[in-house]
Chain A
Amino acid sequence: MAQSTSLTAASPFPKGSLTVKFFFYTALFYLLASMVLGLIVALKSVNPDFLTGSRFFQEYFQYGRLRPVHVNTAVIGWMTTMFFGITLYGVPVLCKTQLYSEKVGLFTAAYWNLNYIVGAGSILAGYQTGVEYGEMPLLFDIGVVICVALTLWNLFMTAVHRKERVLYVSLWYWIASVMFLAIVYIVGNIPAGWAGPGSAQMNYQYFYMHNIIGLWITPVGVGTLYYLLPKLTQRPIYSHKLSLIGFWTIAAFYVWNGPHHLINGPIPFWLMKAGIIPSLLLLIPVWSVLANVVGTMKGVWYKVSQNISLKFLMTGTLFYGLACIQGPFQSLMGPHAILHFTYWTVGHAHMPLFAGFSLIQFSAFYYILPRVAYRHIYSRALMNWHYWLSVLGFVIFAFAMWTAGIIQGFEWMDGKQLGASFVEMMESLHIFLISRAVGGTMMFLGQVFFVWNVFKTVTAGRHVTADDEIFMKTS
């Protein structure tokens, strides 16, 4: 295919894949669901009698069952579904071809959703495995692996049959991430719970818990960042080399980080060190990404005020950077002794997942939706509401959790670990739990504006005209 200048409106390929739309729209459902579940969990922390009106609610909406469903719906439901949509859109575009098999794509999408919904339901019904983050029973783990394998195959074959010779760096990140997801998911879910002595199993749990974020959400999110950045700023990436350094160091260092969750814990000392050192080395990939972003943005920062999609992207990158400064800090033995087991963790865990990569995903959603639905985004004002409620809500949420965590950590150092003194400390944290619920409500409202905006875009948005740049450019 010739360069974009010779393309006419009559050949608007390879946009508008049905598979992409399937993943995109269902991801929105999980986004709202995870938010509602998170909000219920937050309110139950404020008032343990919330939503315990009948025996049914008491049992199936119990904190210990809702929390894992909230986590899984956010990570597997919303983020993974969304990232599948992004990669299935982006890989064909960057390869200047069609998705290798649309049929396989649609089958994957349908099976994926069915598998997750029933899997989440089975956690609520009391069939959770006890492996944190990997609670879904084995049957559904296998379903996830099948879907990931199908997606990997589809993307890889698309890359093999590409019309563009050079592989842009996003393709590396994306295709490799789907493979990482397969490895991480199999290693983290299949043996976890039965293979070997308990201490060895702790590693499986923390391997999965850390690397579903480190080796799946992060690299696929960074790939999305590298895809969107040149599009939204109309500038090439500052340094190809830096992006490659980022890619290979992510693959080399992130995977070692499981044991840093068990610092001071019941694992051999050498294993702790094997987790701490790569945690510090993580600064290399993170800063190479940030340096690349800053280099690319030099001179065009003003565009952030004009393009809301870019505003989402830059804010997401900022929070990703902050999360990755927190990470190595927490992995040092001193800070870890104070911060581990506290609410600090909750604030930290939400930063890369919500404020970092979810914001990047929102940016991608706003960028890609007009290109698959052939409609312009319905309302800029709603986009802004979505942005500000999400960001401010998260900031309130996170600072409440971080502050509460630091208080907890130091109170425990003063001996308030048990009995009445523990409860007394809990009472002093009540205000922070309320703040969390307030921040969480704002985050939820932001997503309601988002989903409403998407609904209006698809049903009543202005049609994309034939001479629009969306049609004129293929990659």
Chain B
Amino acid sequence: MANDAEKNPGILLIGAALLVMMGVIGTLVLPYFDEGVTTPTQTAKLKNYPTDSAEARGRHVYIREGCNYCHSQQVRPVRADSKLGPVSLPGDYYYDQPVVTGTIRTGPDLMWVGQRYSADWQHAHLLNPQKIGGAGSIMPKYTFLSKQDRDDLVAYLLSLKPAPQNKD
């Protein structure tokens, strides 16, 4: 019934590992050879925050508080996203480490939120989303953030905008 290869757990493990590594190479290694992925866009250069800038610290707060669990940062070339602004490109994320594209829009997409609202609006919204965004908003109040953290976070949010189109 069973042939000899089926009786050897070593052969089994090596075969299975080879198949899996093929997929790892195909989906994880090959993208490094794609120019779209490996070339930063103007927007990416705008988001290449110097270490310890307010934006970099704000991004840290963004990750620490798990903002990416409700807000995506990714505009797709589909009808549902047509109001959100320019479609995001692979190169836009060049400097993002880690990347916070998100998987769900419990709240609106934040890819270009920096061009939509002012700093004052963001501060007021973080402190009381229901008052500013509307009673139906289910965003928690971020009153526990220190003034410093909130300033940094807002600086980060305001930096999320497309680079100005300069034709040279």
Asked if A406 is at the interface (CB within 8 A of a chain B CB), the reply is no
Known contacts A130-B63, A345-B103, A422-B108; is A198 also within 8 Å of B93 by CB? yes
Nearest-neighbor residue (CB-CB) of A191 within chain B: B28
- A409–B80 touching, CB < 8 Å: yes
Given A176-B16, A202-B99, A341-B103, A256:B27 Cβ within 8 A: yes
What are the residues of chain A within 8 A of B96 when measuring CB–CB?
198, 201
Q: A130-B68, A264-B78, A341-B103 are in contact. Are A58 and B134 (CB under 8 A)?
A: no
Q: Is the Cβ of A55 less than 8 Å from the Cβ of B144?
A: yes
Q: Counting chain B CB atoms within 10 Å of each CB, which of A165, A167, A198, A209 scores highest?
A: A198
Q: Evaluate whether A131 and B64 lie within 8 angstroms (CB atoms) in the complex, with A48-B130, A422-B108 already known.
A: no
B20: min CB distance to chain A, Å:
5
Question: What residues on A are CB-neighbors of B103 within 8 Å?
Answer: 132, 209, 261, 341, 345
CA distance A197 to B79 in the complex (A): 28
Cβ A194 vs Cβ B98 within 8 A: yes
Q: Which residue from chain B places its CB closest to the CB of A192 in the assembled complex?
A: B98
CA distance A53 to B26 in the complex (A): 49
B: contact size bracket: 35 or more
Q: Which residue of B lies closest to A416 (CB)?
A: B83
Which residues of chain A from 158 to 205 have any CB-CB distance to chain B below 8 Å in the complex? Answer: 159-160, 165-167, 171-172, 175-176, 179-180, 183, 187, 192-194, 196-205
| CB pair A68 B27 closer than 8 Å | no
A78 lies within 8 A of chain B by Cβ: no
Give the contacts of A337-377 with B (CB-CB under 8 A): 337-338, 340-343, 345-346
Chain A residues near B114 (CB-CB < 8 A)? none
Complex alpha-carbon distance, A408 and B129, angstroms: 20
Q: Does A10 contact B (CB under 8 A)?
A: no
Minimum CB–CB distance from A252 to chain B (whole Å) comes to: 5
A132 with B68, Cβ < 8 A, contacts A200-B31, A200-B37 known: yes
Q: A100-108, A265-273, A299-307: which lies at the B interface? A: A265-273
A26 at the interface (CB under 8 A from B): no
A176 and B6 contacting across the interface, CB-CB below 8 Å: no
A252-B19, A412-B80 given; 8 more Cβ-contact pairs under 8 Å: A48-B139, A63-B70, A126-B64, A129-B98, A197-B90, A198-B92, A271-B31, A417-B81
Give me 28 A-to-B residue pairs in the complex whose CB atoms sit less than 8 angstroms apart, sorted by A's number: A48-B129, A48-B138, A62-B65, A62-B66, A64-B66, A64-B68, A64-B70, A68-B66, A175-B12, A176-B16, A180-B20, A183-B20, A194-B98, A198-B90, A198-B99, A199-B31, A199-B93, A200-B32, A202-B93, A248-B19, A255-B22, A258-B27, A258-B28, A415-B82, A418-B84, A418-B108, A422-B107, A427-B135
